[in-house]
Structure 1
Amino acid sequence: MPIVSIITPSFNCIEFIDETFNSILEQTLNDWEWIVTDDCSTDGTYEYLLQKAALDSRIIVYRNGSNSGAAVSRNNSIKHATGRYIAFLDSDDLWENDKLKVQISFMSHNNIAFSYTDYSFLKESGEIIDKARVLPVTLTYRQLLNENLIGCLTVMYDSRKLGKMYMPLIRRRQDYGLWLDILKTVPIAHKCPGILAKYRQRTSSVSSNKLKLLRYNFELFYKHQNMPIHMASYYLFLNVFNKLFKKNKVKIQMDS
């Protein structure tokens, strides 16, 4: 069995999926499996994945019976995962080539069940943006309620310690819901040192639509976290305030 299972949902991402795949191939740790569940792509993404899987047994591809959203896709991949560690990489994001090796070593040596990393940013075109999200060295459930600081592309959890944990079946913000659920099981999430991933900022992403983001966050607190309306509204306000005013995106000097 591989030491780590990489979980990727895909939907009409043929423009980016090859670069994402190459960032997995270039990992300094090669004891992985890449489990992709395609959500009924129509642009050739599914066929591309099947071609790659035919050439490399570490690549396992599934397809939803109907378009069902990222939570269903990720959960299907988690269900079939055989690795001890579960890592997440969306179909348009990238990893630094030592991401898996560094993060697994960090978790193993420090007996950590749930970790994340800092990450940098790319434009949709792939051009590097000279900033990174630099996060606290630990995060708790209460801290995360104030704002979803953890990037999905940076997360890794130990299924031997936690069991397999799945994303809530909500259309958006399901990754945020999973981090909150994990932090009800373990008290602290730990940051693995280093900027180990690259998040692609796309103009069509959910995070670019602020009004939809407000609705999704409220539904997460109210329905998934079972908060009364006044508490859900309070944490929604904190999320908005922190997004607007808290300086957790820090300018850095990128290598030239």
Structure 2
Amino acid sequence: MTQNSPIVSVYIPTYNRSDLLKRAINSVLEQTVKDVEIIVVDDNSPDDTPQVMAELMAIYPQLKYFRNSENQGACYNRNLAIRNATGRFVTGLDDDDYFLPNRLESFLTAWETKSPNAIALFDNVKIKKSEHDMESLSCPKSVDFDCLCLRNDVGNQIFAERSLFSDGVEYDEKLKSWQDLELWMHILSVNKNKCFQNIEKYTYIFDKSHPHERISSVNVDKHLNSFNYIKAKHALNGKNEYRLKCQAYGYNARSINPITLLVDACKSQSLYVVLRMSKYYLKNNKGM
């Protein structure tokens, strides 16, 4: 990439994980693309995050830091960061994850040749389960609204022009789970016949190896509450309603009646859902 590459804004919400935050920030600073701003929103962390940020900002002028006076939640923090972004493009990073050095360059390169129907980009993901155990997950080449109802193959981050996040297109602060999924659905619902395109690389490390609780660690009841909220917000019915409901159940098959699970899977009219839910049923009911 040349020095004239479009600027990218990377937003990082954080809470009480200064050690992991430093790793996340460094992974952005070490990108092959240097024309980047990093926006950190601190949700009133009680640890040394303010001191860590003060030290880093004294060295790196591309850092922006916002600190809440009280805990506001991840959605509020992400929205605050995006509203204060100045880059042509924006993308996110959770404070306990990190980028590989070629992530932003890969997205910028792919943007130049993406499909005309693609309104945002995403990629495959690597999951760090332990220091020596890394799992690679491949995702579909493109994802539309119907696909999201079946499964969030996009994951928790997209790469898109900042102008996409306007006119109320933002994270829904009423949701306790599935905030990323609902935002992707919202974007595709207001941009008809568009999709998210996979650049088919592995440039994001989703870290499950650390002892801290992940933001996404929630139970099935929260997912079912989110299902009901999203169903009403997006007026889902028929196939997509059942697909999304099965997706909620899929997080914890032990928590529901297995007969209900399989009936809803069949109603989704998707062989994938039927097989997936059947797998959960068999796995969790051995010896019964």
Fold shared by both chains (TM-score > 0.5): yes
The code of the aligned residue for 1:183 comes to L
Q: Evaluate the alpha carbon distance shift between residue 220 and residue 115 of structure 1 in structure 2; reply closer, same or farther with a 3 A threshold.
A: farther
Moved more, 227-236 or 2-11: 227-236
CA distance, structure 2, for counterparts of residue 79 and residue 232 of structure 1: 32
> Which amino acid in 2 is paired with 1:76?
L
- CA separation in 2, counterparts of 1:145 and 1:169? 20
Deviation at 1:174, TM superposition (A): 1.5
* Distance of aligned partners of 1:42 and 1:212 in 2 relative to their CA distance in 1, 3 Å threshold: farther
Moved over 6 A (4+): 228-231
Superposed displacement of residue 231, structure 1: 6.9
User: Pick from 234, 237, 244: which aligns with 2:246?
Assistant: 237
What is the match of residue 195 of structure 1?
202
1:112-191 matched pairs, under 5 angstroms: 112-123=118-129, 127-153=131-157, 155-160=158-163, 162-164=164-166, 165-170=169-174, 171-186=176-191, 187-191=194-198
The CA deviation at 1:232 is 4.9
Q: Distance in 1 between matches of 2:241 and 2:173?
A: 18
Q: 1:220 to 1:6 in 2, by over 3 A?
A: farther
Higher relative contact order (CA 8 A, sep 6+): 1
| 1:173 aligned partner, one-letter code | W
**What corresponds to 2:108 in structure 1?**
104
Provide, for residues 180-232 of structure 1, a one-character-per-residue CA deviation record: whole Å limited to 9, x for no partner.
Answer: 11112332110012111100126623544432453353244235434479975
Whether the 8 Å CA contact 1:34–1:58 is kept in 2: the answer is yes
Using the size of structure 1 for normalisation, the TM-score is 0.84
List gaps (5 residues or longer) in structure 2.
254-274, 277-288
The one-letter code matched in structure 2 to 1:190 is Q
- Residue deviations 1:36-55 (CA, integer Å, cap 9, x gap): 11100001123212321222
Shift in Å at residue 168 of structure 1?
1.1
* 1:4 aligns to 2:8 (yes or no): yes
- Check the 8 A contact 2:146/2:240 in 1, yes or no: no
Report what 1:30 is aligned to.
34
For residue 143 of structure 1, what is the amino acid of its counterpart? C
Residues 12 and 40 in structure 2, CA contact (< 8 A), matched pair in contact too: yes
Tell me, in whole angstroms, the C-alpha distance in 1 between the residues paired with 2:165 and 2:72.
Answer: 24
Whole-angstrom CA distance in 1 between matches of 2:40 and 2:205:
19
**What RMSD over aligned residues (CA atoms) do the two structures have, in Å?**
2.8
Alignment length (residue pairs):
243
List alignment gaps of at least 5 residues for structure 1: 247-256
Provide the identity percentage.
23
TM-score computed with the length of structure 2 as normaliser:
0.75
For residues 85 and 205 of structure 1, the distance between their equivalents in structure 2, rounded to whole angstroms, comes to 26
Taking the aligned partners of 1:108 and 1:50, their CA distance within structure 2 comes to 36
CA contact (8 A) 1:147 1:243 kept: no
TM-superposed deviation, 1:148: 1.6
Q: Hey, what's the Cα distance between the residues in 2 that align with 1:46 and 1:177?
A: 31
